[in-house]
A and B are shown apart, each in its own frame.
Chain A
Amino acid sequence: MKPFEYYSPQSVAEACALLAQLGSGAKILAGGTDVLVELRKSADDVASSIIDITGISSLKGIEESSNTIVIKPLTTHTEILRSALVGTYAPLLKTAVAGIGSPQIRNRGTIGGNIMNAAACADTVPPLIALGARIRLQSSTGDRTVALSEFFTKPYITVAQRGELLVEIRFPKLPSDARSSFMKLGRRNALSISRLSVAAILTRDQSGVLTDARIVPGASLPTWHRVSEAENLLIGHKPTRELFVEAGKKVSDIMISFTGRRWSTEYKEPVIAVLVRRALEECH
């Protein structure tokens, strides 16, 4: 590990000022479960200064207003897992964080770090996009809100500018009649990075007809987004296994239309279809 300067600002304003002042060599440190691994690679382009934001108490916690859940970026995966608000209003997010890394990683790793690291396998992102999350970014010159679905441009690349701090994640509460799920396929149960994943939300009316459907695959498309082509197959119909199979095939077709056929397609094509079907079946 190369030497670096270490700063621990105690407020968002202080952190933003440091980011502006230190420029391109500065790296924000939250739980460190991605940053520390990166620092150890001791490549030439590692950070020359670390801005540890874990002392900023206003960036911690989960809050609700009448229709909205607000999660602050320094909230750890363990805190999300134990949150009654998330369990009630965003159960698929709870399922997703339960599968991240290991207890040790969940105790340190934060939702903000998971989003800002922007790895294709980030497990909180598909659920958050399905929930319609928006994030707030703050810098020394102002702040702005971005829909999470428009935040990522490709793996590890986002529209965040240098000097912007993620300060808030917010999404509408799921209605009480909505059902949701998250499924992840890794190489083993713990400590496995998602090879493929799916977040799904379904809402039925009184007669059992689907009125809302949201499907967001993870780690399979160039960036995360809802697959409206598959969602539209479901809305207005009563759920059946055949319908879910069809939606799964559609997602798989869309994936191939983006990625083209390559060595992994033979495996991924049927697997993503089955994963989508199972995720939809879980929404009962």
Chain B
Amino acid sequence: MKFVLIRTIINGRQYDLEVTGTKRGCEIGECGACTVLMNGQAVNSCLVLAPQIDNQEILTIEGLADGEKLHPLQESFLDHDAVHCGFCTPGMLMSAKDLLDHTPDPSEHEIRTAISGNLCRCSGYQQIVDAIKEVEGVSREQ
């Protein structure tokens, strides 16, 4: 196989598919704004080349809600004022989803570790941590 290419997934997605939920920040793996799930694991999409996702399962923020119905994590982020400017939010939500998919009842430490690769310049993180903690409360009650 031989291609010529100049794009990582994130560039390709934005310009070719016109889906803009996934954010482009530092492009060097440090901010987490571009986080998507690749085969269920959070990855920085800025560090994945487009041909590398051939035959892989990719979930972006666009796939989190069920049509008009928000995902419980999204509801919880809204309930806890965890969204300020919102730039970090898509990435935060994908990291949180990876965590909850693998660790249904995380400790605060596990939550903080799970979002340690996602920078937020507005919230100070506490509301985000609370939102992830509480969504667990919701699902436990059900």
Contact = CB atoms under 8 A, between A and B. Distances in A.
Contacts of B116: 102-103, 189-191
Interface stretch (B35-43, B66-74, B79-87, B127-135): B35-43
A68 B46 CA distance: 37
Contact of A78 (B1, B41, B95, B117): B41
Interface in A117-166: none
A108 interface: yes
Contacts, number: 91
B29 interface: yes
A33 B30 CA distance: 10
A32 interface: yes
Interface string A1-34: 1111111100000000000000000000101110
Contacts of B17: none
Contacts of B30: 191
B32 A104 contact: yes
Interface in B28-78: 28-30, 32, 35, 38, 41-44, 46-49, 51-52
A105 interface: yes
A104 B42 contact: yes
B1 A8 contact: yes
Interface of B: 1-8, 27-30, 32, 35, 38, 41-44, 46-49, 51-52, 95, 98, 113-114, 116-118
Contacts of A40: 27-28
Contacts of B43: 104, 107-108
A108 B3 contact: no
Contacts of B114: 103
B46 to A, nearest CB: 7
Main secondary structure of the interface of A (DSSP, over half): mixed
Contact of A33 (B3, B29, B98): B29
A101 interface: yes
Nearest to A49: B2
Contacts of A50: 49
Interface centre among B32, B114, B117 (most CB of A within 10 A): B117
Interface string A83-103: 000000000000000000111
A7 B30 CA distance: 27
A108 B2 contact: no
A1 B114 CA distance: 30
Interface string A56-95: 0000000000000000000000100000000000000000
Given A7-B2, A36-B48, A104-B35, 17 more contacts: A1-B6, A1-B7, A5-B4, A6-B4, A7-B1, A8-B1, A29-B49, A32-B48, A37-B47, A40-B28, A103-B42, A103-B95, A103-B113, A103-B116, A104-B44, A107-B38, A107-B42
Nearest to A1: B6
A6 B51 contact: yes
Contacts of B44: 33, 104-105, 108
A33 B48 CA distance: 9
Nearest to B47: A36
A101 B42 CA distance: 13
Contacts of B29: 33, 36-37, 101-102, 104-105
B11 to A, nearest CB: 9
Contacts of A181: none
Contact of A32 (B3, B27, B47): B47
